[in-house]
Structure 1
Amino acid sequence: MDKLILIFLLLLQIVYVEAQTPEISKIKQQIENAPSKPDSVKYYMFRLLDHASQLHDTVIGKTYSHIGIQYNKLAILDSSEFYMKKALEYTENYPKVHGEMYLNLAINYRIGSRYNESLEASEKAIEMFKRANYQAGVGRAYGEMASNYNYMLNSEKALEYLKKSIAILSEEQNTRELHVVKQKLANLYYNKGDYAFARDIYEEVLPTFSQNKGTNYYSTLLTYADCLIQLEENYSDAEAALNEVVDGFKTLNNIEYMWLSLSNLAYVYEASGKIEKARQAFEKAHQGLYQLKSPRFMETSVRYLEFLNKQKQYNTALAVIKRVQATSKSKRLKMNADNEIAFLKQAIATYSQMGMVENSLQAFERIDFVKDSLHSAVNEAKALELQEKYQNELQRENNLVLASNNELLLEYNNKKDKILMLSVLSLALILVIGIVLFISSRNKLKMQQKLVATLENSKRVLEEKNTLQNQLRIEREKTLINKERELVEVSLEMSDLQNRILELLEHRENPESSQVLAEKLNELLSQNNYWKYFKGKFVEVHPAFAKQLSEMFPNLSDNEIAFCCMLKLQLSTKEIASLMGLSKEQVTSKKAALRRKMGLEDDILGFEKLIEHLE
């Protein structure tokens, strides 16, 4: 009898799974039909996770990782990292898939310029692949490590890992991945400035990549086009390649790389004499990367500024400089030393043409500060410049004197009567030159001292400005904390007042005689929704919270987002119930429903961290 019951239950489970399979298959088909639309892919993947109870853990893990990849395509790297780490929780017992998840995370870190973290994730991937005896995976992970070292400008390490990767993939006869690693080798030679060799390797791998025109193909074509630009040998082919890249990334909805490619195309237009096309392309790329808050915004801004200075469009250049300066404090848009120095040089060129001397001095000061030699660089550079110029002038004059003396010696044998006169003239000339050089050197030294004093004063003003800004920031933080505390206290006091009135009505001594009064009080209380007051004040304290939440989970309703606002302030279940006019049980149920809708049904800790993480 027990066996019959077991068989019956098994049949019921099979029938249940079969009944759900068409819906899952439909969602998977929808995902395949929208590969170039990250927002649509995310939506369908979240729908797929609604059927998590019917999916294998590896499928759930891969789905979370693919959601992270879509956020990566949208340049939302924080969300991308969150979901890729979420994927690791479901694949721990499956080494090969676990290694794939770590490799995806490593790529995400590299794209965000977090190279050390990317190397750590790659090493984890190698450990998993070796445990699964998956040599092709080990070869791919070595290739990813080589990419990191390539970006870190450590060509020796990059070449070491590329050799390991090529050896493994060649032995495994994995042609596709072998071409990917050869592409990385081409990238290495590209970064070393060996554009001809890099070009030849790109031409070898591009036909294979073109069979599947995805991100990798267009990225490779983008770098290949830059090789042609650097070699200055074939601008027409470079222009054709970049036009294909721009269209390709637009189709894939990879907006960041689309704008980056357009910036390179603008450079080709400029080199080809198509100035108006170049201006339009530079402007669109600059504006697009600014709106995305892309880390590559600074790099393209420098190229745009150089173009504007060449075309003498200084007013536009000033607007670009102001925008870059306004965004340079952003963590994502922070410039590296090379980009900042290049930017400051172009800014100085603009300031010089506009007669903005003070701005030029501040830019010079910042360049020296970046090089960690504010005073010594200014003093030594100026002193060496004056000394070198003085020595060159003195040597030149000495050469003239020696030449004159030689002429006197040659004429001495023939014209003795002219020796005295020529000697006097020579001595007079030396004396005049000495006096001129002495006066010139003294004036230049005064100018140098004045410049140093001006720079020191500018530094002091900047330090005072920074101190004031820090004080203002601390005051703003205190004000925000006070507003938040005031919001919660006032709202809870109003809610408590409402509850006390209801309690008095419920326990009044003579219900019958005060029935009319009770009904009127209840009507007044129902008309005053203190939750609406709380919601309006919350937006003043945390203006970005609701927007960020909507971007991450577009399927949430306004009421659900409002509920998350309550959780953001870490109010108790009782306090939330009071403010929203709900029971404690309703509040608990609402939390569970919200987690389920966000794909975090069983992950209470992850849900709480997500709410706390958002601003």
Structure 2
Amino acid sequence: DLLSSIKDHHSFILDSYLHSGNWFREVGFPKESIKSYLDFFDYYQKNESLLTSEELKKYIEMRSYGRSMLAESYAKLGVLDSAAIQHKENISFTKNQGYIYHPSALNNYGLFLYWHKEDLDSALYYFKQAYNFTQIEYPNHTLVGSIRDNIADIYVDQYLTEKAQLLYKTNFEFFKTAINERTLTKDIPRLISAGSQFVVTSTKLNRLKEAQLGFDELESIVVYQGNHNNLGANSKLEFLKAKELLLENQNNSTAAYTTAKQITKYADSLQRLANNGDKKWQEELNDITIDRIALNFKIVRIQKENKIKSQRSKLWFIGILSSSFIVLLVALIFSRRQHLINAKNKQLLAEQKLENSALKVEQLNSEIKSKERDLSDFAIRLTQDQDWAKGLAEQLEAIKKASSEERDILTKALEQAIANKISVDSDTQDFFDRLDKLSDAFYSKLTSSYSNLSKNEIRLCSLIRLKIESRSISTLQNITLASLNTSRYRLRKKLILSEDIDLDFFIQNL
């Protein structure tokens, strides 16, 4: 709202975009934060030539910071590709700028890979790049401690606790004397964090003496800072968690339990404070939003009223003209609709007659095919019975020519063959009756796909589907193996199977 009042004051406008981006990011509105940062970069690009040399120098750091915060906001929204692009652009931008911007950009990209991509190896690579650069160029800068802490965190996740412990220990000593470059004071939160992490990792490594010495030193720092009202809530919570872990490993259950209760109580208090803060911000933003919506609604309503008044006569004329047109159109529609209904009824009658004729033709074709299959099966059975009769005649001729002893044996064999024939025919018929009942769904599937199959061929498919051996199938069908192979060959032709497709596999997977 104030931008129009500071037109051509380029530094003020750029700062306002940055402040808006930072504020929206702090209160949890990443979309609005992204818009403000993008406005900052867009305005800078258009007006860079109008800035003074001092302003240009100032915005080197601000541009690097803005890129990092823009990437962070993208990451919060889950737009990770855009976040990665901003981090890479920041690394490229700061490469030749000097000072601490470049290792800071490398470290921020490592944090993005660690927190959002969970790519530990890539994150460690960028942390080490940043660390080596800062250790050489700016060994006393607090960024060294931050990067060292990030590397140690990855080592913890990789279960390299001993490596992590050494880095936390180094950081604990480093932050005892390190001075924060912005506040020009000791960085107490990082000091307490490094000490707490050193105690935790020492405890996990079961170096309880070393952990106790570190804890005693850390406790004195916490007590001193607490007495001077310089102890942050998160720092105190981190210290208490380290204390609880150490007490547990020292088998001091009572003190550990007391500390755990302190942690729970303190954490609940922090959560309540955070919730109250969020609620306050939300209420203020809701009030602003409601006021703006009400104002916009009022403006729109007034504009609409004015527009309606100026066009009232036109609306009356258009209304009368439209009504006349609608009446005429309705009359035409009803007339046309009746005509369409009559035409459609005639068409439906014609279609119904055609469907009935097609259905009758289909039924006749089905009956013809069924009779053809029955005739084919009858011919096959007739041929089989003729073959059996010929064999019977040959046996009778042999009986006539045989001696009295052989004649009795041959006669008994003939009687047995006849009995077997009767029994086999009866059992086989019973078997096929049951097979037909159980395979009804399979037969329907088969005949719908291959309507040219005979009844015997359909039964052969059903026997193959049941994985019955060829010898047993030939016996059931009262044919030789050679005849069965011929039947299988004819069946392949009707099923239109290529040579590389196995008949049994094809049928069993229908």
Identify whether the pair has TM-score above 0.5, normalized to the shorter chain.
no
Q: Which has the larger radius of gyration?
A: 2
TM-score band (shorter)? 0.3 to 0.5
The TM-score normalised by the length of structure 1 is 0.35
